Amino acid sequence: VREQIEFGPKLHGWKPEEIKERVESLARDLGLEGLLRRLPEGLSGGEARRVALGRALALRPQLLCLDEALSGLDEARHDEVLGVIRKMIEREGVTALHVTHSKKEAEAIADRVVVMD
């Protein structure tokens, strides 16, 4: 899991101490502290989505693109990851473009919703 989140910053030449600080901060915020040494194959659906979110946020993007980020999760994991996404969007100050078929999900995450037919 740690390697998944570190990938972008390493690729972009961040200093090791910056990478460590960013990974630990994201792991804390995403509830992944106890999972950093685990292999991705052993993660639950909700854990895997939180790792993917950490990987996407690691480089401090201005725009976060989410395409059906919550599809396939059971109701409990769906609501958990939905809350984490909303919290991280606010905390990181990032604009998110979230594509979903769920009006309820869009309204829970978004400040503004655009519907396309």
The residue-averaged pLDDT of 2-21 equals: 98
Give the list of residues 6+ apart from residue 74 with CB closer than 8 angstroms, or none: 45
Q: Using a pLDDT cut of 70, give the percent of the chain over it.
A: 100
The closest alpha carbon to 82, from 114, 53, 61, 58, belongs to 53
The arithmetic mean of pLDDT across residues 26-54, rounded, is: 93
pLDDT at 77: 87
117 or 2: which carries more pLDDT confidence?
A: 2
Residue 76: its pLDDT value, please?
A: 87
What pLDDT digit, counting tens, does each position of 61-81 carry?
Answer: 999 999 999 888 888 888 988
Q: What average pLDDT does the segment 13-23 reach?
A: 98
What global pTM score does this model have? 0.87
What per-residue confidence (pLDDT) applies to 73? 87
* pLDDT for position 117: 81
Contacts of 69 (CB under 8 A, 6+ apart): 49, 52, 53, 81, 85, 98, 100
Domain ranges for the chain, please list them. 2-109
Which option is the CATH number for 2-109: 3.40.1280.10, 3.40.50.300, 3.40.50.11290, 3.40.50.10490?
3.40.50.300
Separation of CA 49 from chain center:
6
